[in-house]
Structure 1
Amino acid sequence: MSFESETDTAASPGNAPQTPFLKRFLRAAPTRPGQTYGVPGEGRTVGISVAAVLIVLILWQVVTMAGLVAPLFLPSPVQVVEKFIAILGNGYTGAPLWLHVLVSAGRVFAAFALACVIGIPLGLAMGMNPVMRGLFDPFLEFYRPIPPLAYLPLMIIWFGIGETSKVLLIFLAVLAPVTLGARAGVRSVAIEQIHAAYSLGATRGQVLREVVLRAATPEILTSLRIGVGFGWTTLVAAEMVASTQGLGYMVLSASQFLQTSTVLVGIILIGAIAWIFDLAMRALERRIVPWKGRM
């Protein structure tokens, strides 16, 4: 038997060695249109996640109760909950907790909306037009890996210490992933789909709307989820200068006075809000692009 035939035989699904996990995965392959190609036991993921969180919380409580870590460095979960209740009732630095949450969310989502308005059309244009890609790609790729703290001084020098510099700093963090995601979505469209649409009499606008934009939508939604995560990551940096309200301000201010429980409350709130938004984006994704992940 030739080398080619041996390779083909060994690589065929029927002859390839199958681990127990691989056998279960292959048995879960979709057998009818619209069925999701998923791993068995995927429905237990939520239960496993809840159990993992509970285990970590229990270990955290045990470690702190045993005195293995000083409360200054790591307060117990009970202390963090007590601090959250105290801030919820009394506020922080003269402002109620809901105001800190609202101010931070307003900054992030204002920057996120601006990034969507600019980044999605720009990414679509870069994906469809090589001239636009040549014009904007070097600048996006240059500033994308630069951490926000590096250009925070420029934002302050150019736009002052008000809300504009804070929103623009978050906007720059969100813009790159949104734009590049839209561009990647356009580049993933099969040329056969475009030719088929034109052969059926579709106009250029119909091709852009019904073929290109539909095919790019899954990538765009994924990039939005990634982008808003960068926005919340940049929030603390944006609220470093001349801020008196916001979750990032609360974290930074509390850290200066070694109020670790308050720092943890702010971190948990930032993560919880970002997680809730991500869940909402996933639900929107399932509604807008139900075909994603299906075979």
Structure 2
Amino acid sequence: MSTSPPSLPLVIPPPPRRPLSSLWTVRAPINRRAYWVLALTGLIAPLLGWAMLAAWGGLDPTFLPAPASVLSKTWIWLTENDLMRDMGISIYRVVAGFVLSAVFALPLGLLIGSYRSVQALLEPLTDFIRYMPAVAFIPLVMLWIGIDEGSKIAIIFIGTFFQMVLMVAEDVRRVPAAQVEAAQTMGANRAELIEKVILPSAKPALLDTLRITMGWAWTYLVVAELVAANSGLGYAILRAQRFLQTDTIFAGIIVIGLIGLATDQAFRWLHRRAFPWLYLKG
């Protein structure tokens, strides 16, 4: 006589809890209106806090000027002290250093990410140099290049090139091995693997890498304009520091931030235009 095992009670799992709002759902899309409301809140809230702290009156304006004072100084700088010229020369230096860095870093990073032999040869050296502060190269740059525009561009190049090489190499290494193996099975040679498989697959990540390193190029602007400069936003900030003109320092920092924000949004727009399939709603 066989005995059947006792049947277990049927347990029905509770239904998943629906999120209260898509704003707090992990990686869930939000509508455009909510995005811009949150973005403006994130930008305006710190400004309101700054204005309230300045209006409190417990701080010396030398250390924390009011937003109105900074706005007034920016207007004077624009109308009387040639802000547009300072912006133009700084933008030229940053863009020149960044483009020069990208011209060399993109192919070198592509080789390091594609070939283990090149990685073994060059990646340790690149890792070693990238930890050296760019400001430490200023005496050598002045000795080798001089004190003209080339030296300022060189500092920005040094500050971004080695970081960009390693980020590009990492982007290339993230290309799925299955794609490379499939192309090899179909008879693709080395040049075709790089040109038709690795590079197209890595392009979205490479554009993001350029966007990030452009931000780093702006951070090295003030360092670059330490080298015998007599114009530019970084120079104006350093000159204002000598005379405790804090409102000018704030104005210069905000102008650099606005230029950087505009540049970052331009890169994001370009990314959406170049790779629209990455933004399709699933």
How would you bin the TM-score normalised by the shorter chain?
0.7 to 0.9
Which residue in the other structure is 1:274 paired with?
260
Counterpart CA distance in 1 for 2:208 and 2:152 is 24
Give the AA of the match of 2:77: I
| Aligned equivalents of 1:134, 1:160: Cα separation in 2 | 34
Following TM superposition, by how much is the alpha carbon of 1:197 offset from its aligned partner in structure 2, in angstroms?
2.6
- 1:103 match: 89
- Residues 197-247 of structure 1 show CA distances to partners (whole Å, capped at 9, x for unaligned) of 344454543332221001111221121112111111111011012110000
Report the equivalent of 2:7.
none
Per the TM alignment, residue 150 of structure 1 is displaced from its structure 2 partner at its CA by: 2.0
Measure the CA separation in 2 of the matches of 1:17 and 1:259. Answer: 62
Change (3 A) 1:62 1:190: closer
Q: Does 1:192 align with 2:178?
A: yes
Deviation at 1:18, TM superposition (A): 6.8
Q: 1:5-16, aligned counterparts within 5 Å?
A: none
The answer to whether the Cα contact below 8 Å between 1:123 and 1:181 also exists between their aligned partners in 2 is yes
Q: Which residue of 2 aligns with 1:39?
A: 28
Note closer, same or farther for the CA distance 1:24–1:58 as it changes in structure 2 (3 Å cut). closer
Tell me the equivalent position of 2:59.
Answer: 69
- Maintained 8 Å contact 1:235/1:248: yes
Give the structure 2 partner of residue 176 of structure 1.
162
In the aligned structure 2, how far is the partner of 1:185 from the partner of 1:41? 28
Separation of aligned partners in 2, 1:290 and 1:204: 29
Change (3 A) 1:233 1:15: farther
Residue type of the partner of 2:64? Answer: L
Q: Does 1:87 align with 2:110?
A: no
- Shift of residue 285, structure 1, vs aligned partner: 1.2
Instruction: Answer yes or no: is 1:237 the counterpart of 2:223.
Output: yes
Shift of 1:26: 11
Residues paired across the two proteins, number: 269
CA drift at 1:115: 0.8
Q: How far has the Cα of 1:101 moved from its partner?
A: 0.6
In structure 2, list runs of 5 or more residues that go unmatched: 1-11
CA contact (8 A) 2:272 2:279 kept: no
The percent of aligned pairs where both chains have the same amino acid is 35
Task: Go from structure 1 to structure 2 and tell me whether the alpha carbon gap of 1:191 and 1:112 turns closer, same or farther (over 3 Å shift).
Answer: same
Q: Is the 8 A contact 2:85 2:232 kept in 1?
A: yes
Equivalent position amino acid for 1:283 in 2: W
Residue type of the partner of 1:110?
A
TM-score normalised over the length of structure 2: 0.86
1:87-166 alignment runs, 5 A limit: 87-91=77-81, 96-166=82-152
1:177–1:223 contact (8 Å) kept in structure 2 = no
| 2:220 match: secondary structure | helix
Match of residue 8 from structure 2: none
Check whether the contact 2:101–2:157 (CA below 8 A) recurs between aligned residues. Answer: yes
Per-residue displacement from partner, 1:38-90 (whole Å, max 9, x unpaired)?
42436423211212322222222222122122111111111111111111110
| Residues 202-241 of structure 1 mapped to structure 2, 5 A cutoff | 202-241=188-227
TM-score (norm 1): 0.83
Inter-partner Cα distance in structure 2 for 1:17 and 1:250: 61
Structure 1's 172 and 21: CA in aligned 2 closer, same or farther, altered over 3 A?
farther
CA distance in 2, matches of 1:232, 1:263: 16
Structure 2 counterpart SS, 1:189: coil
Are 1:249 and 2:235 matched, yes or no? yes
Match of 2:68 in 1: 78
| SS in structure 1 of the partner of residue 95 of structure 2 | helix
On the 8 A contact 1:247/1:270 being kept in 2, the answer is yes
Q: Secondary structure at the match of 2:236?
A: helix
> For residues 254 and 13 of structure 2, what CA distance do their matches in structure 1 show?
50
Deviations 1:139-197, CA, capped at 9 Å, x for gaps: 21012122222222222222222222211110011112321122112211122212323
